[in-house]
Structure 1
């Protein structure tokens, strides 16, 4: 890999900024100053920039507890994005794996690993996603059975069988539920609940495949995945 590409991918600066810095002697490889942007390096080399080590990371995996009010996008002209929340990412090419609505909270995986993202989002893999919701309206055992069998939600969506659990006795006209779905269509949870004659008041994703939201993460907080969590995702 070219030295300028290595440093750019590690977030040192733009390609042009990195090239200028290399020519000024800011980069050293294995203790020797490298002044050519095209100088070849690999992950085993010891690279520094202005005396600070720059370790190469090919892929990065970050668990975010997405708060309401931010959008699941890499950039947006009007709203803050989930990437705006991550201040110390090693990679600058992260993207959210799937989407959560702007008002939805909970688990969101950020990575630059396109292969893994495809595995998790591909319809043929049917990766389970679990949500907690507060619902306006009384959910019943008839709803549980209907969701279990799968049903035509609207003209555009026929939902696969899903697992609906009523978490508490409905108080007044409000219920708490947990819903496991095996696909990820646009506004799917809200549309399924609406088709049952109720309305989602609050929605939070708890898990995606084997990856479970860390209870220690407050909305807006994040952490890197452990090696065990990464391995579990690839085994999904």
Structure 2
């Protein structure tokens, strides 16, 4: 990416443009090992080697994070009353202003992706993409035989007055299952089970498309997605 030298450095959270300009005059900035005092110079983030006070500045435009969201935390960028998923990440990542892709209810755990790539976020949540989301569900009552056909046919939700897209249940025990849905309506999984006279006691998202929550990621932990994982997700939504 080609951009101004001061913008590249400031975008990485090193300092303000005024501070960078002053330091450039002191000879603290080099481009390809040559002192550069003109902070308006256009540089190539992929080709030029930028050093600020002797440290190489590696430019990044986007970040992609996978989190195993814990219960009690809301899927939002900020909230005056509740802890958010952004509160759980390091200040380094906060600088990039990532946002959760889609939402998980406060008491729902599991797979949550955060990114500042707006296009990526949009494509993963677009209803037109029909990206499946799979949840592990524990229920108060036993799973009845009619659930399978009812969920596959679709359930009417109010006040939206919509019929959910065909959903798939895979029963694991008498009171637990995996449920795959293709939307993300407010409290959708809980409301679907309420419609058949049951109650969700525990809910965890374990999969988006073909991308599964990494087994080694403990509850409340997060890490950056690998390049391969990003490719899987982008292939899923055809970005």
Unaligned residue ranges in structure 1 (runs of 5+): 170-174
> Shift of residue 58 of structure 1?
2.5
Aligned residue for 1:164, secondary structure, equals: strand
The alpha carbon displacement at 1:179 in A equals 0.6
Aligned to 2:36: 34
Does 2:151 correspond to 1:161?
no
Q: Which of 80, 86, 99 matches 1:95?
A: 99
Of 67, 88, 97, the residue aligned with 2:70 is: 67
Aligned to 1:4: 6
Distance 1:83 1:28, change over 3 A: farther
Give the Cα separation in 2 of the matches to 1:25 and 1:67: 47
Tell me, in whole angstroms, the C-alpha distance in 2 between the residues paired with 1:15 and 1:204: 44
Alignment root-mean-square deviation, CA: 2.0
Equivalent position SS for 1:80 = coil
Q: CA deviation at 1:19?
A: 4.6
What TM-score results when the alignment is normalised by the length of structure 1?
0.89
- Judge which range, 122-131 or 39-48, deviates more: 39-48
Structure 1 pair 180–49 and aligned structure 2 pair: CA distance change class (3 A): same
Partner of 1:172: none
Matched, 1:124 2:123: no
TM-fit CA distance, 1:192: 0.9
Asked if 1:115 corresponds to 2:128, the answer is no
Equivalent-residue separation in structure 2 for 1:71 and 1:14 (angstroms): 31
Separation in structure 2 between the aligned mates of residue 209 and residue 33 of structure 1, nearest angstrom = 49
- For the residues of structure 2 that align with 1:125 and 1:77, how far apart are their CA atoms? 33
TM-score by length of 2: 0.88
SS of 1:144's equivalent?
helix
**Unaligned 5+ runs, structure 2:** none
CA pair 77-166 structure 1, distance change in 2 beyond 3 A: same
Q: Give 1:187 deviation, angstroms.
A: 1.3
Contact conserved, 1:60 with 1:90, CA < 8 A, in 2? Answer: no
Distance in 2 (alpha carbons) for counterparts of 1:197 and 1:84: 36
**Match of residue 58 from structure 1:** 61
